[in-house]
Structure 1
Amino acid sequence: MKLVIVGAGEVGRELIKRLKRDWFITVIDEDAEKLQKIVDLLDTESMNKVVLLQGDGTSKLMLKRAGIEDAKVFAACTGDDEVNIEACKLAKEFDVPSVFAVSNSTENDELYEREDINYVDKAVATASLLERQIKSGIVTPTNIGLGQGEIVEVTVMPTSIIAGYPVGKFSSRRWKIVAIFRGSKLIIPQRNTIVKPGDKVLIVGDPKVLKYIAGLIRSGEPQFPLQFGTEELIFLPERDQNVLKDARFFFENTKLLKVSIYTCFKATSDLKNMFSSNEKKVVDLKELKLCEKEFLEEVVKDENFGLIVMSNKYKEFPLYFGIKTFPILVAEETLSPVMIAKGTTPVNKILVPVSGSFSSFRALEVGIELSILLDAKLTALYVRLNNSDEKVNYLKDKIVKFSSMYKISIDFLVRTGNPVNEFAKISKNYDLSIVGARKGRKTNWFNPYPPYHMIHRSNCSSILVCVGE
């Protein structure tokens, strides 16, 4: 695609730096020195894509020479608003589809509006960015990396979910903590490096989820499920009203931005219509030929899912023979939360089994977020094997700390017996259970891994949250 830029100053040069690999660009400026600075930016590949012309950007002849008639986009970036407005008016005469300008003075914004020119007010844009950073404590460098928000700096607050934890506990394919600034000291974190309140952490990751991760890390504000992804993925081997009911509830009551429905049958548009009430959210409907195999090998590899919802048709008995069920395979492949839907939404009561493991506390944090978002009552359950179990007091103290940190009431329930059986009995009284598990754990008849059995035995809809090995 072709872009014509009038103005080779700082804004024009920055624009070229960002777009030179993907666009054919012609730049017009009367100042030869400014054009020479652009030459210094170009490498061998982009040299063939960028044309520099010395001349008047408000001249029709010069604009024709620049190829304005073939341009898809025009940008006026000079430091003179009169020049920018005149150049944009000419670009419109040549029917350029998209015309933009930089307003150098807020007082001149009205002139751009009068001519119906899309503009960016330099002062307002800068102040707006600074305001967001001042209010949020989150700094997004715009001149590092790709400049798309893939690098952010966040100040860790006392309520942050990572405060007091080692970096290695937060394993994700979508984002990484790559540096910690503690006072005047730079720390390159190892897996066992503890993050402390007041630290500034530098995070690199997928821009689609990074801004939500930044908000979560800074203050612990509920973002579920955006720390995992922005899309809800629904898998329907057959039409299942429980799946549709639960998926729709979470799509409408959380911050999910998109839903993709994958079926193993010829679906009708009514499936899509169930989720289309909010025009700001995107709904896709697709049919799979190879069903589970295609879903696992082709669909979930994108790894940008806030929540994956599937049927309760998958039973637990393969676990006794060391064979993981389909929902567990999906959860381990993506590290996205996987819901086994039983149609027990709306959610007013949430149950989270805790054992003292990091994965169970991670599930509790998800439960806390959902409890706040949905205004639901939260219960943490510990099932001890006998009355002499000394872990009860430790867990009770942890629950109190979580409750104080997030300013939320958490009931702590203790039972004695088989963890899976007791959990199954108690789950009858709840609308949603959230189970934490560690990726890669083996399970069989002689050495069962309780979390894997719990998600199948739950008598309410359940979410499996896997953490890295």
Structure 2
Amino acid sequence: MKVIVVGAGGTARELLRRLGEAWDVTLVDTDADRLKLAAAVRPFTSIEGDGSSPVVLAEAGIATSDALVACTNNDAVNLAACKEALEANVFRVGAMAADPERMIDYQNLGIAAHSPDSLAARWLELDLEPRRVASMAFAGGRAEAIELEVGSDSPVAGKVLRDLPISDWLIGVIYRDNELIIPHGDDVLKVGDRVTVVGPSTKFGEIIALFTSGQAKFPLEYGSLVVVPLRGIEDLETVFGEAVYLTRNSLAKGLMVVFREGEDSMELLERASRLAPGVEVKFHEVRGKPVDHLAEVASDVGGVIVTRQLSSRPAWWPLAQAKEARLAYETGVPVLIARGTYPYREILVPARPTAAGRAAIRAAIDLARLTKAELTGLAVVDATFIAGPDVADDARAAAARLKEQAAVQGVSVRRKVRRGNPIRVFLGFTTDLTVLGMRQRSVGVKIAEHIARDATSSVLLVPTKE
């Protein structure tokens, strides 16, 4: 993610020290000596110039920036820089009010501004880092208390406290489900926990990295195996090949082949084993069609199901729920409709702040990291006369939050906001894999099911656990 910091004084230098490694910083100041002094804190792109100038901010890349912080000792400069950021649709804008009496001017712009005291950098850091909830220093600045939120991709999620490498820090309180918990060594951290950690300021960076860095987990939160049904030899070069690719490019522990008993079973198993060198392949023989047994097999082993398209009815057919969607609901695991568009170089995911959207985003970010694919976050809104002008701002905000979440894992995101019919918009994008979230509904056909049926590339349907 990219942030422009206007001003290279003490507050800016402290902010640079505290920001996570995911931030690509451009520092703007009129004083070359202050820029050189800040260079000792961390690497950044420096621009010597007036941070209130549209020309200078354009050179700094404001059109593609995710955040701007104005912290000079001149409120006129800070306010002008903030206004330019707002006009450029920069998602996060923060500032230091050099004169506390000017705070109202920032508030009128809707800007998060803070007074120029020793805590200014800390408050600005919290404005930029969504997983850091609160922070305060004590013991003359030698110690610090930080409140952090445990994300779904956090390395500490699901870990026992005594196993965490934090000998110099103490976890004082866990806030979970509106209750305060005084933790013990056997307690386990859960996604959504707000954890207060206390320790020396010298180890600030280490504790932040431990709690807020991200790690890929797909598909382990659903299970450890990729399950693929084979109707016969003809499936080996198509759906089986994509199943092998997914197994190798995810954290799956192996591949489960579901096949029908018959005279050609031995040849099928031998050829499947040869086509998956280095992959642990297990075989499950069934009577009848393999696809009819996917639910029972996947419910036992979990993971992700890879299959060819199962639904034959047109998407507009009344109450015709897609078989792939029903399979995802029944098993509680993702279903990949394999159309052979691998390796995945382009992955498309909706940018939506819903339970289904969050499930899809988590899987898409993990796969983009593991396959080194380009990730596009697409937010679609109705025409202005239907949805109103504010909906586009909400869509841009959703796409920006997706970019922030992906940056934790080092995944870059191309944000796209489009108006129109969501089915047509999604089908109009060229991609290798589309990841869609699914929520159960008793009747009707969802937009995701329409897209899954009509797409020409592979589609991953991810059921929500929320």
For the superposition of Structure 1 and Structure 2, which TM-score range results when normalised by the shorter chain? Answer: 0.5 to 0.7
SS at match of 1:228: coil
> Residue deviations 1:33-82, cap 9 Å, x none?
xxxxxxxxxxxxxxxxxxxxxxxxxxxxxxxxxxxxxxxxxxxxxxxxxx
Match of 1:189 among 177, 185, 196: 177
Match of 1:372 among 358, 369, 373: 369
> Residue deviations 1:85-144, cap 9 Å, x none?
xxxxxxxxxxxxxxxxxxxxxxxxxxxxxxxxxxxxxxxxxxxxxxxxxxxxxxxxxxxx
Shift of 1:430: 1.1
Q: CA RMSD in A?
A: 3.7
Shift of 1:367: 1.1
Match of 2:422 among 415, 419, 422: 419
Q: 1:224 to 1:188 in 2, by over 3 A?
A: closer
Residue 408 of structure 2 is matched in structure 1 by 405
Q: 1:404 to 1:271 in 2, by over 3 A?
A: same
Distance 1:465 1:233 in 2: 15
Read off the aligned partner of 1:432 and give its amino acid letter.
Answer: L
Shift of 1:414: 1.9
1:160 aligns to 2:151 (yes or no): yes
Shift of 1:258: 1.8
SS at match of 1:317: coil
Shift of 1:286: 3.0
Residue 277 of structure 1 is matched in structure 2 by 277
**What are the residue-to-residue correspondences of 1:438-457 with 2, within 5 Å?**
438=439, 440-444=440-444, 448-457=445-454
1:459 aligns to 2:465 (yes or no): no
SS at match of 1:320: coil
Q: 1:283 to 1:399 in 2, by over 3 A?
A: closer
- Contact kept in structure 2, 1:352 and 1:433, CA below 8 Å: yes
**What are the residue-to-residue correspondences of 1:201-280 with 2, within 5 Å?**
219-238=213-232, 239-240=234-235, 241-264=237-260, 266=262, 267=265, 268-278=268-278
1:331 aligns to 2:311 (yes or no): no
Distance 2:296 2:210 in 1: 30
Shift of 1:462: 1.0
SS at match of 1:295: helix
Using structure 1 for the length normalisation, give the TM-score.
0.52
Shift of 1:282: 2.7
Structure 2 regions of 5+ residues with no counterpart?
1-145, 161-169, 180-189, 198-208
Distance 2:320 2:299 in 1: 21
Read off the aligned partner of 2:412 and give its amino acid letter.
Answer: S
Q: 1:264 to 1:423 in 2, by over 3 A?
A: farther
Match of 1:295 among 278, 293, 297: 293
Distance 2:403 2:315 in 1: 38
Read off the aligned partner of 1:287 and give its amino acid letter.
Answer: E
- How many pairs are equivalent? 279
Distance 1:236 1:301 in 2: 18
Shift of 1:252: 2.1
Shift of 1:458: 2.0
**What are the residue-to-residue correspondences of 1:164-179 with 2, within 5 Å?**
none
- Contact kept in structure 1, 2:228 and 2:256, CA below 8 Å: yes
Higher mean alpha-carbon deviation, 452-461 vs 394-403, is at: 394-403
Structure 1 regions of 5+ residues with no counterpart?
1-154, 164-169, 201-214
Q: 1:305 to 1:298 in 2, by over 3 A?
A: closer
Match of 2:350 among 353, 357, 360: 353
Residue 397 of structure 2 is matched in structure 1 by 394
Q: 1:437 to 1:277 in 2, by over 3 A?
A: same
Residue 432 of structure 1 is matched in structure 2 by 433
Distance 1:420 1:373 in 2: 28
Read off the aligned partner of 1:231 and give its amino acid letter.
Answer: L
- Contact kept in structure 1, 2:438 and 2:448, CA below 8 Å: yes
> Residue deviations 1:4-34, cap 9 Å, x none?
xxxxxxxxxxxxxxxxxxxxxxxxxxxxxxx
Distance 2:247 2:147 in 1: 29
> Residue deviations 1:334-357, cap 9 Å, x none?
221110000000111111123331
- Contact kept in structure 2, 1:248 and 1:274, CA below 8 Å: no
Distance 2:314 2:221 in 1: 32
Q: 1:293 to 1:233 in 2, by over 3 A?
A: closer
Using structure 2 for the length normalisation, give the TM-score.
0.52
Q: 1:297 to 1:228 in 2, by over 3 A?
A: closer
1:312 aligns to 2:309 (yes or no): yes
Q: 1:287 to 1:377 in 2, by over 3 A?
A: same
**What are the residue-to-residue correspondences of 1:78-157 with 2, within 5 Å?**
none
Read off the aligned partner of 2:246 and give its amino acid letter.
Answer: F
Q: 1:216 to 1:430 in 2, by over 3 A?
A: farther
Shift of 1:189: 3.3
- Larger Cα-atom Rg: 1
